[in-house]
Each structure stands twice: as structure tokens, then as C-alpha cells.
């Protein structure tokens, strides 16, 4: 009984004290509210509010490999060149450069007024250090994007431990402000590549500190902004770097990013005025909401084509898709226009090729110079081809077909719509199956599927980024496709110095891939759908949809 | 008593070992690995990464190494949040969850008990009916539905609160309401029924007959006895709220441990999955342990020997 009394007294004390505590926090809340009431003054402040649907897995440019890190690192670091809003390479850490006539040697002159956030000058040795670190086979964890530096002479050999002497790799600092780079093959898009994060410089002091990029206090950066706050899973805050050489052109004083995964919450937050920017590439506007946003906020809503393709790939080693006629029949029996108009709703462009618009050709865009008229949608023709294909294989009924896609509301809608079109236009019942991301990738990469959803974004502004992946045995070739003629065309394009010849070869390769072999059925070219508040200007989005907030400002 | 506690403690450790082993092997059985990406990592690169993280070794070697590491308090580094310490990720994000959870618990107890008391005192009157309708609603509506409704009407439409974020005191309001709604409902019902029982007990009648004033009766007899069931509920509820805010954290963009847990599974971030699972396991088991002991202290009818207690 004594214990019982003690406990109940404790409970009573607990309750009384919590009542008091609750009163206390009520006062705080009122305080917060009155602070909030002073908001109008904030409008003129140069603070940009954005959202990222996931926290960047790393702030180490050498280890990064995703679009969230891309957005963050573009603010924090600066490469040799920068891409302006037209996609042209403009001087950044390098103030000028020379390219040898054979296209193999690049000499970068670094600017002398560029400094790190700790005051040290940015030198050519910082680039050598960063690139060597990415290529070094003993770097832990291994940088998965080391192949991005593979255009440099002997870089791949050094990374694969075939050579151990780094001086044989085509990277040299001839003095503090001169960087000499020698390439394996003439690579017209190499200059643009140096604006990519794997090519960013890293301060040499990080050498023996594996955890340097896990704490914003120990990061030494050379870009327009410094990371000044980081609450895991919740918030990132970037503050203008007053030591940045081009600080006069940086107008924002701060960029704050929330980290909410849900597209609905992001949109809701934007509508309530908490965010200045919502949508791709770092977030997503739910496709259901796109038509309303387009109608209600026409001046804030924007759709921009990006160099990305959404497609379904066939496992060409599995029945029934080892037959090219059956592959063609499936590809022809749908309406891509209906798909983008009624299902995806984001102004996507129906795709009949694999190389996306926005990629440079000889003079104009590749897609303008080489049209994607590889095939046409034709339901009668599709049925005929299916019958012929089935006859060739000796089928009386088509084997059961399953389409796999990774779990996501938008992929599901597309899959169901396409399956429905196949049923109506081709008379084929296709099962659709959604798989959790990791399981999905495992199945697709091990050719354990018949038709699978896929998407591809350009790594660099050249059709090579698209055609290279379908070579025999290439890492991302998940279709089982292997074609000697195709491989030869890609190889010829890679070693040629003449840009017109390169484009010709790559166009011929794409024709084999889509028109002759139909290894995949393109569905649409992606678009970035976004909302930007009317008073926010200067956000730049490049050909691939990567976004640069560094030169943004608030009017 | 000592034997009872020791016994409980032993079972707690055993459960923890089973939890660790089951999670470890189930986790490895899921297809995929931490180094998957839409753009595939080359085979050599993957082999290099597997070696660096010790994932190339046989499963049993990995298992015993892991057990060895955690007994020295080393939970390893995350495989997806590169080079970040698992213990640091957990302690950072748990602080956030704890702040949210504690406020929710306090609100749940205070509001729940008050509501239950009022309902009991005004038994079968308007207040009672209203309180019980609220309680039924609170029990029936899932927290994520409630959270989304609050977010839509009070934050997006009315603009009184931030839709997402967790910086200012005002940001606590919506997640706390969403998180405490269910416990409030439960506590209110619990308090009401036990108070009603006490109010009709003989000793209250005696007290009234003695001519004691209302306040003395209420505070000295009714509340003190009526609140006991709530005390036993607070333990498990605390564990549930602190660990169970996964959905609420996702909806309001709060960087708590629940959000980290969900992400770690999608990422196949083995070390982080293990770390958070063990952490959750320990919290739940300790809460259970304390509750078991509290039961015994409060209710002598629970047997101390033989381990047959409920």
C-alpha cells in the first residue's frame, strides 16, 4: 500500500509539472507567432527557400553520384569551367584554356584570385590531388564515378591497377596556376565535363581524414556558398561565401533547403508560401496536381524538356521477346501521345528514338539533325507483326508476359495504361508487377525479366552518353543485346576526330538499336515540371535538367 | 523480487540477441546491396566496395564480426550516408524524435487525464458525451490521416503554421497533435472508467458521509486511485510514441530517427538498418521491462515467482 501511495503521488507530481510545462511552451508558441508576424520584411531579404526530397548521401565531390548531391555541390564548389544558362562553358576556376588542334591536349590557366573558404589559394595541385584521389584504387570507399575521369590518358589503367605510376596519367600541374590534361581520344565534350562534380577540386588537407565531408564545420570549399548548417534529415543551410572571387555576381545571402520526401507536402508547402521553388530536379510535383497548377499558377508553372528518356526495355534473351517482330509489335501497339496527354500530364514529348532532345549535334541539336522517325504507331501493322512473329516461333498462344516496374505512383500509372493499350490494340494480356527498388534493380540487372521499366539521363552533352550503354557487355546494358555492327559503330565514333563523322556513326547505331532491333520501346522524353515564385529570378537549368541556384536572386 | 528482476533482465538480453540475429540474416536475404544505382556501378568497382566494407566475406564471418563490434560499442559507418558514423546518425536524429515525442507524451497525459476526469465527473452529461465522441474519433482515425488533414487545413489553407520543418516552437503544434491524438483518446477512456469505478466505491461514500469537502475527496481519494491504470500505460506508450513517429516525421519533414530507418531499408544501408533496429529494440524492451516491474509494484496480485506473469 505504501508503494502504491508513493506511485500515485509521483503520478500527481508528473501531471502538475506537465501542466506547468505545457503553459510554458504555450508562452513560447505565442512568442514564435509574434516573431512570425514580422514576416513581410522578409520578402526583400535575399534568402531562397527550396526543398530536396532526399539528403545528399555525401558532400564529397569525389564520391557523389546523384542529382541531390549535384545541386548541393554546384553551390559549394567550382570546377574549371561552369555552364551558363545557355549551356555554354564559361570561365570559372580556370580563367582561360587552350585546346591542341588534335583535340588531345588541354591547357587550363587558373585564376589567381580564387581562394578556398579557409583563405588558401586554389591551385592546379588541388585539381591534381582531387583527380588522383578519385582514380586511386586504394581510396576508401571507392569512388563509383571514377569512370567519369576515364577520358584522361591512362586514367582507367591507373584506376584498374594496370599501372601504378601516377605520372603516366595525363594530369599535370606545370605550375601553381597551370593544369595540363592529356586525353585518350579526342573528346569534344570534355570541356563541359570539367564542370561536373567528379572534376571539382578538393583541398589537400582532407587526405587523412575520412570523415571530413560529414561535418559542415570541417568542409573546405571553393564555391559561391558554404554549407553553414546541417540538421540530419531535416534541413540544409548555405550561406554566401564572401571569399568567392565572383562574389559581386552572387546576390543571394542564404539558401535554405528543407528535406521532405513527399511531393504532396512539398507542393503544399510551396502553396503556403514557405518555399520559393518546388518540383524537379530535387523534388516532384505529383502528376495529379499538374493540370490544376498549370491552370491556377500559369506564371509560376514551367515545363522544360531535359535530356532524359523514359522507356521499356525488352530482355532479348527471354521468350517471347527474343523475336524482333514481337518486340516491334509491342512497341507499335500503343499511343504515346495519349500516354503523355492523359496519364503523365507533364508536357512530356512522345519518344520514337533513344537520344533525347537537348543533346548537341554537329551544328544544331542532334535530335533536330537526325529525326527520331524510326517507326510509327500502327495497330494493324502491330497485329500483323505479332502474328508473323508467333508463327516464326511456332506459338499458338503467346507465352505469359509480365512487365516489371519499380514501386512508384507515377510508374504504376504508366504501366497500367500501357498494359491496357496492349490489351485493346494488340489483344495481349500483360501482367504488371511492381517491385521494391533494390529488388527491381537486381532482377533487371540479372536479366530476370521480360519487359522492364527504365529511364536514362545524359551524363554529358553528347549522343555518346546514350549509345555507349548498349555496347555488348556494357555495365548498363540490361537487355542482353549484343550486335557486332553496333559495337563497331560506337567504337568508330569514339575514336574519330571529325564531329560530323562521329554524329553520323552514332545516328547509324541508334537506327540499329531502335528501327532494326527494337531492343527497347521508347515512351517519352522527360520534362522537368517546376513552380517558381514570381519574384525569384536567375535560376538556371541545363540540358540534363541539373539546376544551379547560385546566381538566383529575389526581386 | 530480485530474482524476478534478474529473470526479466535475462529474457530481455535473450530477446535482443534473437532480434539482432533475425534482422541480420533477413536483411542479407533481401535482394540487392548498398551499392546499387540506376546507373550501374561496374563489376570491379562493386567488388572493391564489397571488400572495403567486408561484405565479400562469408555470412557467418560477417555476423560474428558484427556481434563482436557491437559489444565494444562500435556500430560501424553508414554505407550510404558515406563515412558517417551510425551512432552519430542515431544520436542526432533521436534527439529530434525525442523532443517531438516528449512533448507529445506530456500533452497526451495531461489532456487525456483531464478529459477523462471531466467525463467521469459529468457522467452521462453533455461533457461526457462530447469527450467520448472525441475519444472514439481519436482512436479510429489513423495518425497519418489526421496529420495530413491538419497539414492541409491549418497550414496550407489557413496559413497558421509551417507546412514542413521543425525549427520554431510553432512547428511543434501540428506533429504533436497528430502524434498525441491516439494516446489522448486511450488515456481519456482509461481515466474515465477507472474514475467512475472509484467514484462509486464505498470509501468515497464514506468520505462524503463524513462531510469532507469536495476538493479533499477529489484530490485525496478519487484522482489518486483513479489514475493508477494510466501510470502503467505510460511506459509502453512512451516507447510507442518515441519510436512510432515514422509516418508523422515523413509527413512534416522532420529529421527524426523514423525517417532515417525507412530510408536505410530502401538504401540497403546494412550498418544503419542494424543500428536503428537494435536501438529501437532496446528502447521497447527497456520500456517493457520497466512496465513489468511497475505492474508488480502496483498490483501485488501479479505473481513474483515462476515467471508466469502476463
pLDDT mean across residues, chain A: 90
**Residue bearing cell 543551410:** A237
pLDDT (0 to 100) of residue B304: 55
Average pLDDT over residues B233-257: 83
What confidence category does residue B298 fall into, taking pLDDT thresholds of 50, 70 and 90? low
Partners of A235 on chain B (C-beta within 8 Å) are 165, 167, 255
| A301-323 residue pLDDT tens | 999 999 999 999 999 999 999 99
Cα(B30)–Cα(B24) distance, integer angstroms: 11
**Contact status of B84 with chain A (Cβ, < 8 Å):** yes
Give the relative orientation of helices B228-243 and B173-199 as an angle to the nearest 10 degrees.
Answer: 160
| B194-220 residue pLDDT tens | 888 888 888 888 888 888 888 888 877
Instruction: Give the list of residues 6+ apart from residue A55 with CB closer than 8 angstroms, or none.
Output: A68, A232, A233, A236, A259, B81
Q: Testing the interface with B: which of A160, A234, A258, A544 to mutate, by most B Cβ within 10 A?
A: A234
pLDDT (0 to 100) of residue A26: 37
pLDDT (0 to 100) of residue A142: 92
| A82-92 residue pLDDT tens | 998 788 899 99
Is A88 buried (19+), middle (13-18) or exposed (0-12) by CB count in 10 A?
exposed
Give whole-number Cα distances, B206 to A281, B203, B209, B221, in Å.
Answer: 73, 5, 5, 11
Average pLDDT over residues A392-409: 94
Query: Which alpha helices (H) appear in B53-157, and where do they start and end?
Result: 59-71, 86-121, 126-140, 143-150
**Residue bearing cell 549484343:** A482
Partners of B35 on chain A (C-beta within 8 Å) are 144
Confidence check: pLDDT of A275 > 50: yes
| Percentage of residues in chain B having pLDDT higher than 90 | 42
Nearest CA-CA distance, residue A398 and chain B, Å: 30
> Under a CB-based contact definition with an 8 Å cutoff, are residues A287 and A279 in contact?
no
Confidence check: pLDDT of B294 > 60: yes
A165's torsion region: left (phi>0), alpha (psi -120 to 50) or beta?
beta
∠ Cα A519 A493 A323 (to 5°): 15
**Contact status of B225 with chain A (Cβ, < 8 Å):** yes
Instruction: Give the list of residues 6+ apart from residue A27 with CB closer than 8 angstroms, or none.
Output: none
Nearest CA-CA distance, residue A142 and chain B, Å: 6
Confidence check: pLDDT of A36 > 50: no
Closest to A272 (Cβ–Cβ): which among B156, B224, B298? B156
Instruction: Give the list of residues 6+ apart from residue A256 with CB closer than 8 angstroms, or none.
Output: A47, A48, A49, A50, A235, A236, A237, A238
> Under a CB-based contact definition with an 8 Å cutoff, are residues A367 and A356 in contact?
yes
Confidence check: pLDDT of A19 > 50: no
| A488-542 residue pLDDT tens | 999 999 988 899 999 999 999 999 999 999 999 999 999 999 999 999 999 999 9
pTM of the model: 0.86
Cα(B58)–Cα(A516) distance, integer angstroms: 45
Ranked by mean pLDDT, the top range of A19-23, A132-136, B286-290 is A132-136
DSSP per-residue letters across A360-389: B-SSSBHHHHS---S----HHHHHHHHHHH
Q: Which domains does chain A have, with CATH numbers?
A: 47-52+224-300+533-554 (3.40.190.10), 78-207 (3.90.76.10), 307-526 (3.10.105.10)
DSSP per-residue letters across B250-300: HHHT---HHHHHHHHHHTT-HHHHHHHHHHHHHHHHHHHHHHHHHHHHH-T
Cα(A55)–Cα(A147) distance, integer angstroms: 24
Nearest CA-CA distance, residue B18 and chain A, Å: 26
The nearest alpha carbon in chain A to B256 belongs to A233
What confidence category does residue B245 fall into, taking pLDDT thresholds of 50, 70 and 90? confident
Average pLDDT over residues B101-125: 91
> Under a CB-based contact definition with an 8 Å cutoff, are residues B131 and B192 in contact?
yes
Phi, psi at A141, each rounded to 5°: -70, 155
Helix (H, G, I), strand (E, B) or coil at B28: helix
Nearest CA-CA distance, residue B308 and chain A, Å: 23
Strands (E), A315-436: 349-350, 401-406, 430-435
> Under a CB-based contact definition with an 8 Å cutoff, are residues A254 and A49 in contact?
no
| Residues A439, B30: C-beta atoms closer than 8 Å | yes
Closest to B110 (Cβ–Cβ): which among A15, A266, A442? A15
> Under a CB-based contact definition with an 8 Å cutoff, are residues A319 and A549 in contact?
no
Confidence check: pLDDT of A24 > 70: no
Single out the residue of A17, A13, A2 nearest to residue B219, CA to CA. Answer: A13
| A419-465 residue pLDDT tens | 999 999 999 999 999 998 889 998 998 999 999 999 999 988 999 99
| A346-384 residue pLDDT tens | 999 999 999 999 999 999 999 999 999 999 999 999 999
**CB atoms < 10 A from the CB of A96, how many?**
10
pLDDT (0 to 100) of residue B303: 58
> Under a CB-based contact definition with an 8 Å cutoff, are residues A65 and B37 in contact?
yes
Amino acid at each position: 500500500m505504501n508503494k502504491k501511495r508513493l506511485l500515485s503521488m509521483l503520478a500527481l507530481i508528473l501531471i502538475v509539472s506537465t501542466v506547468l510545462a505545457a503553459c510554458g511552451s504555450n508562452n513560447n508558441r505565442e512568442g514564435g507567432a509574434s516573431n512570425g508576424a514580422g514576416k513581410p520584411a522578409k520578402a526583400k531579404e535575399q534568402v531562397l527557400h527550396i526543398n530536396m526530397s532526399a539528403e545528399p548521401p555525401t558532400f564529397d565531390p569525389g564520391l557523389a553520384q546523384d542529382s541531390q548531391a549535384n545541386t548541393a555541390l554546384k553551390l559549394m564548389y567550382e570546377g574549371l569551367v561552369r555552364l551558363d544558362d545557355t549551356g555554354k562553358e564559361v570561365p570559372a576556376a580556370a580563367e582561360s584554356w587552350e585546346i591542341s588542334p588534335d583535340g588531345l591536349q588541354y591547357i587550363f590557366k587558373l585564376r589567381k584570385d580564387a581562394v578556398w573558404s579557409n583563405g588558401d589559394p586554389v591551385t592546379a595541385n588541388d585539381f591534381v590531388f582531387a583527380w588522383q584521389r578519385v582514380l586511386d584504387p586504394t581510396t576508401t570507399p571507392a569512388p563509383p564515378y571514377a569512370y567519369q575521369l576515364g577520358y584522361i590518358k591512362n586514367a582507367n589503367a591507373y584506376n584498374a591497377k594496370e599501372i601504378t605510376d601516377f605520372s603516366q596519367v595525363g594530369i599535370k600541374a606545370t605550375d601553381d596556376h597551370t593544369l595540363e590534361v592529356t586525353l585518350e581520344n579526342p573528346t569534344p565534350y570534355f570541356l563541359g565535363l570539367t564542370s561536373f562534380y567528379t572534376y571539382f577540386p578538393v583541398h589537400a588537407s582532407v587526405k587523412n581524414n575520412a570523415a571530413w565531408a560529414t561535418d559542415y564545420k570541417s568542409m573546405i570549399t571553393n564555391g559561391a556558398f558554404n554549407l553553414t548548417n546541417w540538421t540530419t534529415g531535416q534541413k540544409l543551410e548555405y550561406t554566401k561565401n564572401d571569399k568567392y572571387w565572383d562574389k559581386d555576381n552572387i546576390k543571394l545571402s542564404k539558401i535554405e533547403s528543407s528535406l521532405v520526401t513527399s511531393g504532396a507536402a512539398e507542393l503544399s508547402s510551396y502553396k503556403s508560401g514557405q518555399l520559393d521553388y518546388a518540383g524537379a530536379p530535387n523534388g516532384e510535383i505529383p502528376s495529379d496536381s499538374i493540370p490544376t497548377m498549370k491552370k491556377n499558377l500559369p506564371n509560376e508553372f514551367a515545363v522544360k524538356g531535359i535530356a532524359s528518356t523514359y522507356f521499356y526495355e525488352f530482355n532479348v534473351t527471354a521468350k517471347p521477346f527474343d523475336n524482333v517482330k514481337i518486340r516491334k509489335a509491342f512497341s507499335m501497339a500503343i499511343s504515346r501521345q495519349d500516354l503523355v496527354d492523359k496519364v503523365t500530364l507533364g508536357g512530356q514529348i512522345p519518344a520514337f528514338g533513344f537520344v533525347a532532345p537537348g543533346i548537341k549535334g554537329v551544328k544544331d541539336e542532334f535530335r533536330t539533325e537526325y529525326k527520331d522517325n524510326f517507326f510509327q504507331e500502327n495497330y494493324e501493322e502491330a497485329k500483323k507483326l505479332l502474328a508473323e512473329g508467333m508463327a516464326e516461333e511456332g506459338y499458338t498462344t503467346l507465352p505469359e508476359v509480365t512487365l516489371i516496374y519499380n514501386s512508384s505512383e507515377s510508374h504504376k500509372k504508366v504501366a497500367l495504361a500501357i498494359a491496357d493499350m496492349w490489351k485493346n490494340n494488340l489483344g495481349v494480356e500483360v501482367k504488371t508487377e511492381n517491385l521494391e527498388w533494390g529488388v527491381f534493380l537486381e532482377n533487371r540487372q540479372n536479366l530476370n525479366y521480360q519487359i522492364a521499366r527504365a529511364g536514362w539521363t545524359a551524363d554529358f552533352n553528347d549522343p555518346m552518353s546514350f549509345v555507349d550503354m548498349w555496347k555488348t557487355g556494357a555495365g548498363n546494358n540490361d537487355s542482353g543485346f549484343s550486335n557486332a555492327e553496333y559495337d563497331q559503330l560506337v567504337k568508330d565514333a569514339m575514336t574519330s576526330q571529325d564531329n560530323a563523322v562521329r554524329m553520323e556513326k552514332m545516328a547509324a547505331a541508334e537506327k540499329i538499336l531502335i528501327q532494326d532491333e527494337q531492343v527497347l520501346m521508347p515512351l517519352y522524353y522527360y520534362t522537368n515540371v517546376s513552380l517558381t515564385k514570381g519574384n525569384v529570378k536567375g535560376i538556371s537549368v541545363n540540358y540534363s535538367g541539373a539546376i544551379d541556384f547560385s546566381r538566383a536572386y529575389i526581386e | 523480487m530480485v530474482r524476478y528482476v534478474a529473470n526479466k533482465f535475462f529474457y530481455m538480453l535473450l530477446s535482443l540477441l534473437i532480434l539482432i540475429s533475425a534482422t541480420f540474416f533477413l536483411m542479407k536475404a533481401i535482394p540487392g546491396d548498398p551499392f546499387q544505382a540506376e546507373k550501374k556501378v561496374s563489376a570491379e568497382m562493386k567488388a572493391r566496395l564489397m571488400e572495403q566494407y567486408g561484405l565479400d566475406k562469408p555470412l557467418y564471418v560477417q555476423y560474428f564480426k558484427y556481434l563482436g563490434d557491437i559489444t565494444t560499442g562500435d556500430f560501424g559507418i553508414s554505407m550510404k550516408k558515406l563515412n558517417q558514423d551510425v551512432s552519430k546518425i542515431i544520436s542526432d536524429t533521436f534527439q529530434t524524435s525525442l523532443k517531438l515525442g516528449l512533448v507529445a507524451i506530456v500533452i497526451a497525459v495531461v489532456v487525456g487525464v483531464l478529459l477523462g476526469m471531466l467525463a467521469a465527473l459529468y457522467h452521462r452529461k453533455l461533457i461526457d458525451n462530447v469527450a467520448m465522441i472525441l475519444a472514439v474519433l481519436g482512436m479510429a482515425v489513423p495518425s497519418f490521416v489526421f496529420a495530413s488533414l491538419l497539414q492541409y487545413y491549418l497550414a496550407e489553407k489557413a496559413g497558421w503554421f509551417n507546412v514542413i520543418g521543425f525549427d520554431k516552437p510553432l512547428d511543434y503544434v501540428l506533429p504533436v497533435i497528430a502524434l498525441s491524438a491516439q494516446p489522448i483518446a486511450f488515456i481519456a477512456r482509461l481515466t474515465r472508467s477507472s474514475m467512475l469505478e472509484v467514484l462509486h466505491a464505498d470509501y468515497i461514500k464514506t468520505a462524503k458521509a463524513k462531510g469532507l469537502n469536495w476538493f479533499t475527496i477529489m484530490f485525496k481519494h478519487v484522482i489518486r486511485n483513479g489514475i493508477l491504470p494510466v501510470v502503467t500505460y505510460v511506459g509502453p506508450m512512451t516507447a510507442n510514441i518515441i519510436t512510432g513517429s515514422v509516418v508523422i516525421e515523413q509527413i512534416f519533414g522532420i529529421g527524426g530517427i523514423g525517417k532515417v530507418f525507412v530510408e536505410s531499408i530502401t538504401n540497403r544501408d546494412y550498418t544503419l538498418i542494424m543500428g536503428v533496429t537494435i536501438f529501437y529494440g532496446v528502447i521497447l524492451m527497456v520500456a517493457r521491462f520497466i512496465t513489468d516491474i511497475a505492474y508488480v509494484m502496483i498490483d501485488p496480485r501479479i505473481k513474483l515467482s515462476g515467471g508466469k506473469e502476463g
